[in-house]
Amino acid sequence: MDSTADQGPRLSLRALLAEPAAEHRVASELFVRGLAIVYVIAFASLAVQIDGLAGPDGILPFGRALSRALAGYGYSAVWQIPTLFWLGSSDWALLGASLAGVVIAVLLLVGIGHRRLLLIALYVLYLSLYQAGQIFTSFQWDSLLLECGFLAIFLAGTPTRVVVWLYHWLLFRLRFESGWFKLASGDPAWRDFSALDYYFETQPLPHAGSWYAHQLPHTWLHAGVGFTYLAELIVPFLIFLPRPFRIFAAAVTIVAQLLIIATSNHNFINLLTILLCLFVLDDRIVTRCVPAKFVARIEARTTARAVPPILVGLAAALIVATSVATFLVTQMRRPLPETVYTIASIAPEFGIGSVFHLFPTMQTERQELQIEGSDDGIVWRVYEFRYKPGPLDVRPAFIVPHQPRLDWMMWFVPPQSSRTDYWFGPFLQALRENRPAVTALLARNPFEGMAPPQRLRVRAYRYRFTTPAERALTGNWWSAELLGEYPDVPPRQP
């Protein structure tokens, strides 16, 4: 038998996995620098709140979660919860990991150190904090950052076509799945094109731009829903077509992200989405937008040693398998082979291959909770949050790219989702105990330096944006209607 005949297919596969995408070299470099900036933002944002969320005196102490997992699953829990904090989850450990992430991301940004090692360190650190934050870091942008960071490990001086395609696949999933789930949900607001009549007012953390967008004519808002469908259901397929179609896809996607930033506080997800568009474009376009000296430095740099093709192939197989499996698990009503569920379980553990479904249903009214404490049941003092709607005359703040995790999670409570039972009771208990780590997450603790409150109550209000005439008369951005006391507030524990 001719041995060279057997080697042919293997050599072809190896060549395919190692084939360079020279037309994306500058775009790849810009992406890594941009990713470093997003990492700085994400780690810094967590640094100022992680102890109150997951520290020993936080809302959901991560050390307790690890102890429960170890007691329940034995040493297999280490695989199920991949995190460095098995070594210790003190406030200093959580803060140290966050600050270390900031420092390493800055090194990556300015080009100091071994790039691949820095990217590995950033992925491991963010994965650890992603696990530590539990429900507070279970958002789709956290998964998106993890997968972007994981793929970046495989970017050499000249990226390979396989890695570029995986970024295309990621952007496609992010955009198309968001549109798909809007249709699959059967939500009437998306079906009758009225979703934007409510979205700007009912989104988790509006800013002033949301108020202005809410005042637009209904015909404009309905046209905006049509644009959303175009951008999320049709345009993503253009990513895989020839260059003119890809350029159009990138342009539409970037415009959509800029519009979202102008009208919504969605932390760093829109910045990441814009960065992903760099791989849909190519250096013929990208080099026109950056200084010539920057391009010359990249072209003069010695190409970094490529990742072995076998590792690239394994990474590609992992991402495709997990992303397809997670999508099937969410969509198929009939039982699937056990292997599919096993593969899908990798996504939440390592943040790879996740499903993206941004706002698949639309709330049609906004409810806000006001937490109050009292010593005598007569005089009640209000706990004020930093960014969620509260005082009616306070301008909704623009806080992109920061994400205040507690403020964001409060948005989920009024619908009484089962997800809130996991953390809202412990949050109220922390207020009853006046724990500094938790009260520091608030704008104002009315019992600062005092004994903890004897009683708590949670009152629910219906919030809506004022009209221009109402705002001109009162100066208020919001109007509020008391709905009553929120049920099931747990009693104070000894």
Predicted model pTM: 0.92
**Distance from C-alpha of 344 to C-alpha of 32, rounded to nearest angstrom:** 28
pLDDT in tens, the chain (494 residues): 444 444 444 446 666 777 878 888 889 999 999 999 999 999 999 999 999 999 999 999 999 999 999 999 998 899 899 999 999 999 999 999 999 999 999 999 999 999 999 999 999 999 999 999 999 999 999 999 999 999 999 987 678 899 999 999 999 999 999 999 999 999 999 999 999 999 999 999 999 999 999 999 999 999 999 999 999 999 999 999 999 999 999 999 999 999 999 999 999 999 999 999 999 998 889 888 888 877 777 776 656 677 888 888 999 999 999 999 999 998 888 888 999 988 888 888 899 999 998 889 999 999 999 999 999 989 999 999 999 999 999 999 999 999 999 999 999 887 655 566 689 999 999 999 999 999 999 999 999 989 999 999 999 999 999 999 999 999 999 999 999 888 754 444 43
**Distance from C-alpha of 207 to C-alpha of 289, rounded to nearest angstrom:** 30
Task: Count the alpha carbons within 13 Å of 363 in the hemisphere toward its beta carbon.
Answer: 19
Q: Which of 231, 175, 220 is nearest to 197 (CA)?
A: 220
| DSSP secondary structure, 162-205, as one string | HHHHHHHHHHHHHHHHHHHHHHHTT-HHHHTT-HHHHHHHHSSS
**Distance from C-alpha of 76 to C-alpha of 78, rounded to nearest angstrom:** 5
